[in-house]
């Protein structure tokens, strides 16, 4: 099958719309339609279900996703190996990362990397622990900057212990203390990140059997901080998220101390492209310095 068509197929699957896929890839909507009709003809089964809201994959289409990602990943690795042998050093590195990592880490790492490898381009997606695990395991990304989670099938390279901090408004009674015992969260108004079993805040509360009065649940860390600033509750956030922020809040260490272990998730080092292998070394050197 034509790899170009397969790449278009994945883009349509991700965006759920032929027109948006065309805009992202530089094709017309009719061009996308013709390529997908051709791919369906080759497959011999319908791959898309059309609706007024766009398209979604049939069960047969969904079943092809893992194999297509594996094929395109292998093709990218092969092309990079040939490029590196010729001295051209060109290719793409696909990264999935927490927003805090894309803000505080990736710009500096990429800057250092591209001084020697300017021909490498980056495709970066932001997500949470669940998103990044799925992207790594499905080979949608080469490297995931995420936190350590037990029982994951990917390989995890630890690089940084990120302290979890108590966060409160400046005028909050807790602000006069240097450290905040986790049991003080029992029954008090709290602004929490969206619940997932692997989320560090919820893991911490679960570990110490602390049940706060969760007033608000937010998916965005900046929104959580804004709610804290407006005296709607307190929260627990990683230190990396708070780096460089000087808004109307206070942050204190928790008792007992708690960290999230941040690092890079990969399927296996042997299967990485040449550029991704080198990028991991740059990232480790920067973050472990």
Query: What DSSP assignment string belongs to the chain?
Result: --HHHHHHHHHHHHHS-HHHHHHHHT--HHHHHHHHHHHHHHHTS--EEEETTEEEE-HHHHHHHHHHHHHHHHHHHHHHHHHHHHT---EEEEEEE-HHHHHHTHHHHHHHHHTT-TTEEEEEEE--HHHHHHHHHTTS-SEEEEE--TT-SSEEEEEEEEEEEEEEETTSGGGGSSSEEGGGGTTSEEEEEPP-TT-HHHHHHHHTT---EEEEEES-HHHHHHHHHTTS-BEEEEHHHHTT--SSEEEEEEES--EEEEEEEES-STTS-HHHHHHHHHHHHHH--
Q: What is the pLDDT of residue 264?
A: 97
> Exposed, middle or buried by CB within 10 Å (0-12, 13-18, 19+), for 288?
exposed
Report the DSSP beta bridge partners of residue 218. 193
Query: What confidence tens digit (pLDDT) does each residue in 1-31 have?
Result: 689 999 999 999 989 999 999 998 999 989 9
Query: How many CB atoms within 10 Å of residue 28?
Result: 12
In this prediction the pTM is: 0.80
Q: How far is 144 from 134, CA to CA, in rounded Å? A: 10
Those residues with Cβ within 8 angstroms of residue 267's Cβ, 6 or more apart along the chain or in another chain: 136, 137, 139, 154, 155
Q: What is the pLDDT of residue 198?
A: 67
Query: How many CB atoms within 10 Å of residue 32?
Result: 24
Q: What is the pLDDT of residue 197?
A: 64
Report the DSSP beta bridge partners of residue 265. 144, 156
Q: How far is 230 from 214, CA to CA, in rounded Å? A: 16
Give the rounded distance of the alpha carbon of 31 from its chain centre: 31
> Where do the domains of the chain lie, and which CATH numbers do they carry?
1-57 (1.10.10.10), 71-150+267-289 (3.40.190.10), 159-261 (3.40.190.290)
Give the rounded distance of the alpha carbon of 156 from its chain centre: 14
Residues in the chain: 289
> Taking Cα atoms as reference points, which of 227, 216, 214, 218 lies closest to residue 188?
214
Give the long-range contacts of residues 43-50, CB within 8 A, separation 24 or more. 47/9, 48/12
Give the rounded distance of the alpha carbon of 109 from its chain centre: 16
Query: What confidence tens digit (pLDDT) does each residue in 25-64 have?
Result: 999 989 999 999 999 999 999 999 988 888 999 999 999 9
Q: What is the pLDDT of residue 51?
A: 85
pLDDT per residue of the chain (289 residues) written in tens, 0 to 9: 689 999 999 999 989 999 999 998 999 989 999 999 999 999 999 999 988 888 999 999 999 998 999 899 889 999 888 988 877 788 999 999 999 999 999 999 999 999 999 999 999 999 988 899 999 999 999 999 999 988 888 999 999 999 999 999 999 999 999 999 999 999 999 999 887 766 889 989 999 999 999 999 988 888 999 999 999 999 999 999 999 887 789 999 999 999 999 999 999 999 899 999 999 999 999 998 7
Residue with tokens 């009065």: 213
Kindly report whether the peptide bond that precedes residue 9 is cis, defined as omega within 30 degrees of 0: no
């Amino acid at each position: 099958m034509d790899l170009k068509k397969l790449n278009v197929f994945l883009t349509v699957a991700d965006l759920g719309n032929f027109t948006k896929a065309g805009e992202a890839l530089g094709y017309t909507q009719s061009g996308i339609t013709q390529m997908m009709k051709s791919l369906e003809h080759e497959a011999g089964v319908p791959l898309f279900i059309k609706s007024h809201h766009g398209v979604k994959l049939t069960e047969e289409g969904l079943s092809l996703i893992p194999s297509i990602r594996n094929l395109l990943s292998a093709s990218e690795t092969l092309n990079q190996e040939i490029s590196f042998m010729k001295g051209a050093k060109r290719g793409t590195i696909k990264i999935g990362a927490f927003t805090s990592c894309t803000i505080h880490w990736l710009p500096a790492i990429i800057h250092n990397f591209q001084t020697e490898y300017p021909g490498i381009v980056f495709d970066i997606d932001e997500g949470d622990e669940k998103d990044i695990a799925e992207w790594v395991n499905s080979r949608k990304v080469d490297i995931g900057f995420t936190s350590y989670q037990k029982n994951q099938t990917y390989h995890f390279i630890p690089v940084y212990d990120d302290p979890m901090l108590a966060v409160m408004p400046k005028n909050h009674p807790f602000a006069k203390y240097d450290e905040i015992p986790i049991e003080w969260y029992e029954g008090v108004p709290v602004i929490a990140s969206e619940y997932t079993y692997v989320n560090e805040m919820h893991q911490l509360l679960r570990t110490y059997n602390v049940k706060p009065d969760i007033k608000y649940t937010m998916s965005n860390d900046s929104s959580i901080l804004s709610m804290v600033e407006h005296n709607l509750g307190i929260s627990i956030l990683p230190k990396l998220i708070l780096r460089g922020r000087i808004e109307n809040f206070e942050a204190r260490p928790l008792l007992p101390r708690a960290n999230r272990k941040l690092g890079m998730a990969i399927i296996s080092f042997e299967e990485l492209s040449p550029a991704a292998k080198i990028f991991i070394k740059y990232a480790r050197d920067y973050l472990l310095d």
